[in-house]
């Protein structure tokens, strides 16, 4: 398993921090974080992560809008996106599948398993 680079886009500091620490400890992956959709878009274009964890509910530019922009941008459209949501119902929304997200993970996730779950979903 080579070193993967992950970008986490979430407006909540605690989620960003825990996800980052979790992936660093369990998988030794390199993790960058962004607190908003716009910041995330910029980082994704410049850093080219191997995968993006994207929060669905964010103020201003929400998750779905960010996802659509990521898919439209030539520089980022190939990066697999996993959505994070605190709402269980959202887990079955076809809009997210249509927009091209690879998987949905409902919060709270297990910090001990996050890395393995990402590997399973993306076939790593």
Partner 1 sequence: MKILVVDDDDLLVEQLTADLLAQNYVVDTTSDGLLGWEYATATPYDLIVLDINLPGLDGVSLCQRLRQGGYAGAILLLTGRSSSDDKVMGLNAGADDYLVKPYTLVELTARLRALLRRPQMVISPTLRYGSLELDPNGSLVTVADRPVELSPKEYGLLELFLRHPDRIFSNTLLLERLWSVEDAPGEETIRTHIKRLRRKLKQAGVDDMIENVYGMGYRLRPGSVGPAVGPDVSDAAPTPAEPDRAAAAREAAIAAFERFRPTIDQRMAALRDAALALKANHLPTAVQTAAQGAAHKLAGSLGLFGYGTGSHLARRLEDWLEQPDLAQGQTFNGLVDQLDGLLRSPPAATSTENNREIVPLPPAAVLGDRIAVVAVDDDPIMLAQLQSLLPRWGVDVLGLQDPRQTLATLEASPPDLLLIDLEMPSLSGLDLCRQLRQIDRWQTLPIVCLTACRDAATLYQLYQAGADDYLPKPVVEPELVSRIFHRVERGRLLQTLAGVDPHSGLANRQKGTIELKLLLALAQRQGEIVTLLVIQLDPRDPPGEATPIRSLGQSLTGLIGSGDVLACWGPSEFIVGLWATDRAAAQALLGQTLKLQLMDKLSSSSDALGTLDTTANGTTVNAINIDAITVGTATFPVDGQTLPLLYRQAQRPAARLPLSP
| Residues of this chain that bind partner 1 (CB under 8 A) | 1-3, 12-15, 17-18, 21-22, 25-26, 28, 57, 82, 86-88, 91-92, 94, 96-114, 117-118, 120-123
Tokens of 50: 């191997």
CB of 124 to partner 1, least distance (A): 10
Between 42 and 57, CB nearer to partner 1? 57
CA dihedral angle for residue 109, residue 35, residue 101, residue 59, rounded to 10 degrees: 100
Nearest to 84 by CA among 4, 25, 22: 22
For partner 1, the closer of residues 47 and 88 by Cβ is 88
CB 47, min distance to partner 1, A: 17
How far apart are CB 60 and partner 1 at their closest, in Å?
Answer: 15
Sorted by sequence, the CB contacts under 8 Å of residue 111 that are 6+ apart come out as 18, 19, 21, 22
What is the closest distance, in whole angstroms, from the C-beta atom of residue 42 to partner 1 in the complex? Answer: 25
The radius of gyration of the chain from alpha carbons, rounded to an integer in Å, stands at 13
Which of 34, 81 has the CB closer to partner 1?
81
Give Cα separations from 110 to 20, 62, 91, 97 (angstroms): 13, 24, 17, 23
Q: Which is nearer to partner 1, 34 or 99 (CB)?
A: 99
């Amino acid at each position: 398993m080579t070193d993967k680079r992950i970008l986490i886009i979430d407006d909540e500091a605690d989620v960003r921090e825990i996800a980052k620490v979790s992936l660093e400890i369990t998988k030794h992956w390199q993790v960058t974080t962004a607190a908003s959709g716009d910041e995330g878009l910029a980082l994704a274009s410049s850093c080219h992560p191997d995968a993006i964890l994207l929060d669905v509910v964010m103020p201003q530019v929400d998750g779905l809008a960010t996802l659509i922009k990521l898919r439209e941008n030539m520089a980022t459209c190939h990066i697999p996106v996993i959505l994070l949501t605190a709402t269980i119902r959202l887990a079955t929304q076809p809009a997210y599948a249509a927009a091209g997200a690879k998987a949905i993970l409902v919060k709270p996730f297990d910090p001990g398993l996050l890395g393995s779950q990402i590997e399973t979903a993306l076939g790593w």
